[in-house]
Amino acid sequence: MNEIRSAGFDSGMDAVAFQVIWSRLVSVADEIATTLVKTAFSLVVRDNHDYACSLYDARGRMLAQSTQCTPGQAGSTPTVLQDMLRVYPAGTLAEGDVLICNDPWIGAGHAPDVFIATPVFLDGRLSGFACTCAHHADMGGRLGATDARDVYEEGLIIPVSKLVEAGRENEALYRLIVRNVRMPEKIIGDIRAQIAANHVGAEGLKRMMRDFGLDALEPLADRVSAHSEAALRAAIARLPEGEVVNEVRHELTDDAGERLRIRVRLTLKDGEARLDFAGTSPQVMKPINAVLNITRAYCVFPFIATLCPDLPINAGAFRPVVVDVPEGTVLNPVYPAPGMYRSLVSYFTVEAIMGALHRIAPERVMAPSGTYPLWIQKLSGEREDGTAFVTIFNAQGGQGAFADRDGVSAVVFPGNIASTSVELFEHEAPFLVERRGLLADSGGPGRQRGGLGQESVLRCLSGRPMRAALSGGRLVEPAAGLSGGGPGACGAISVNDGPGFVRAGQTDLREGDLVRLAQPGGGGFGPAHERAPEAVARDLRAGYITREAAERDYAVALRPGTLEIDESRTEALRRALAG
């Protein structure tokens, strides 16, 4: 300890001491997350873990994030404190203040993501901030707002404000929030959980500073940022230098009826990745626009995920990826464009970038996933006893395959949140989940198979009025394969025996109605007839593929009435394909 105290943060500081302090920072951020989960009221925060927690120095430079964060929220947080400090400069803040904001253009792109920041004072001096972002079950407006034409329809927007001032709650702001949401006890409960989590983080940060004799966090912030920046630059530098252009055509259309286009020019040079999105479709009058903050988050994510998955995230981790997105496009819209379902587009930046990287380093990337866009169902109404509820049901499809391994089935990627527990969902809302299981043959065929999608069937049990906002994607066009791999299965949304949805939409539900959700599978990687016959047999035994698919897609023949491979027929089938 004495060695750490005396070392300071100059360039010659002992590497072990530095690592101890850095690890302590991350553990404090994890304490924030643990507190948030233990005290939150809503399913989406408490059980889906749809949140991000972070620590900053007094300048608003991000020091560390908790190990559980969503990439979208986590990737938006580096700039949030900067915007908050522009409204409330450091000199205007006092001990006991708490700041709040859910402005999509400052935060994570839509109103449900609420940022709450608590200034941390040590011995009367502003030393840093503890911050949480949590996705709230409701922020007013139209439920789901699947056809919103501007941001005003999507819920209450709270500009950067003091929720608590010098320890006294801003009662007027609390009343405003309560009056605008459907379930005020849950929303206010989650807000208070964020405040409590920040308090734990603030106390942990002060203890850390006292334990290591730190008077300020700025030197530490500079050093940890420099380390993360250098690590990602070195990883990018190991890729071949060059410039490629890739384009993704979305199944959704723009205001003129043309399919949305995400076009990216990737330039790799001197340990830096430059992304130019000139040529991307203009913003639309649909709630799918992704503000620059969330676009930037999902531009940095593919490089960290593929090159430095263990990289500690802080302000420096974002510097090696330079993003240029023309204003007025679907990836950088002008206010007040709607964006409630921005993941319908923002996740596809990952596909566009992965496709560009595939041309440079094919062994490092994954095939397109059936896990984007995010499938989130919002349900609101009354139980039989007349009490109101608002809840979210989250279940996702299959991840794309990699050059060296199969895609993961039924996983939230790249959103990094948990799927909704059936038991907790049934406890919270008047529904019975009649089925939830993997869909055979939904993973794209390939040398490495795409992850499987899953099916969920929800039965409405309440005779009271109920409204559902149902959303998903890959409903028309599946996740493609890479390097000769096949596409995954398309997704499907339907109510009872009605026609399948072709895009997100709202509907009323009555007692006994069935909502069927079939999430799409991920794309395969490499030609399917190169998949090891033993791997095909394992998939058959597990129920991941059918006998028909084994022969049709993988050229693997089985002995009649068994799951044993007919080696001679399989060899003949594959020889015919190769010839």
Regions in the chain scoring below 50 on pLDDT:
1-12
pLDDT in tens, 386-411: 999 999 999 999 999 999 999 999 99
In whole angstroms, give the CA distance from residue 136 to residue 42: 8
Q: What are the DSSP calls for 287-313, one per residue?
A: TT---HHHHHHHHHHHHHHHH-TTPPP
Whether residues 133 and 203 fall in one domain: yes
**Facing residues of 470 across strands?**
505
Q: Please state, as a whole number, how many other Cβ atoms lie within 10 Å of the Cβ of residue 110.
A: 26
Closest to 504 in 3D by CA, of 357, 288, 355: 288
Pairing of strands 376-382, 272-276: unpaired
Longest dimension (CA), the chain: 80
Closest CA relative to residue 329, chosen from 359, 292, 373, 380: 292
Q: Are 143 and 245 contained in the same domain?
A: no
Same domain, 360 and 211: no
pTM, rounded to two decimals: 0.93
Q: Any bridge partners for residue 56, and if so which?
A: 62, 129
294 and 205 within one domain: no
Query: Does 536 reside within a domain?
Result: no
The model's pLDDT over 241-291, given as tens digits with 9 standing for 90+, comes to 999 999 999 989 999 999 999 999 999 999 999 999 999 999 999 999 999
Is 573 contained in some domain? no
Tell me how crowded residue 23 is: count the other CB atoms within 10 A of its CB. 12
Give the pLDDT of residue 195.
98
Helix (H/G/I), strand (E/B), else coil: 300: helix
Residue 55's pLDDT is 98
Name the domain count of the chain.
3
User: Do 328 and 407 reside in the same domain of the chain?
Assistant: no
CA distance linking residue 238 with residue 569, whole number of Å: 44
Residues 6+ apart with CB under 8 A from 395: 375, 410, 419, 420, 436, 454, 456, 517, 519
Q: Within this chain, do residues 145 and 75 fall inside the same structural domain, yes or no?
A: yes
529 DSSP 8-state letter: G
Taking each helix axis from N to C terminus, what angle separates 71-87 and 292-307, rounded to the nearest 10 degrees? 130
Same domain? For 313 and 372 the reply is: no
What is the radius of gyration, based on Cα positions, of the chain?
Answer: 25
241 and 158 assigned to the same domain = no
Are 122 and 12 contained in the same domain?
A: yes
Q: What angle do CA 45, 48, 50 make, to 5 degrees?
A: 55
Q: Specify if 314 maps to a domain.
A: yes
Among 58, 172, 168, residue whose Cα is nearest residue 121: 58
User: Residue 432's domain spans which residues?
Assistant: 366-526
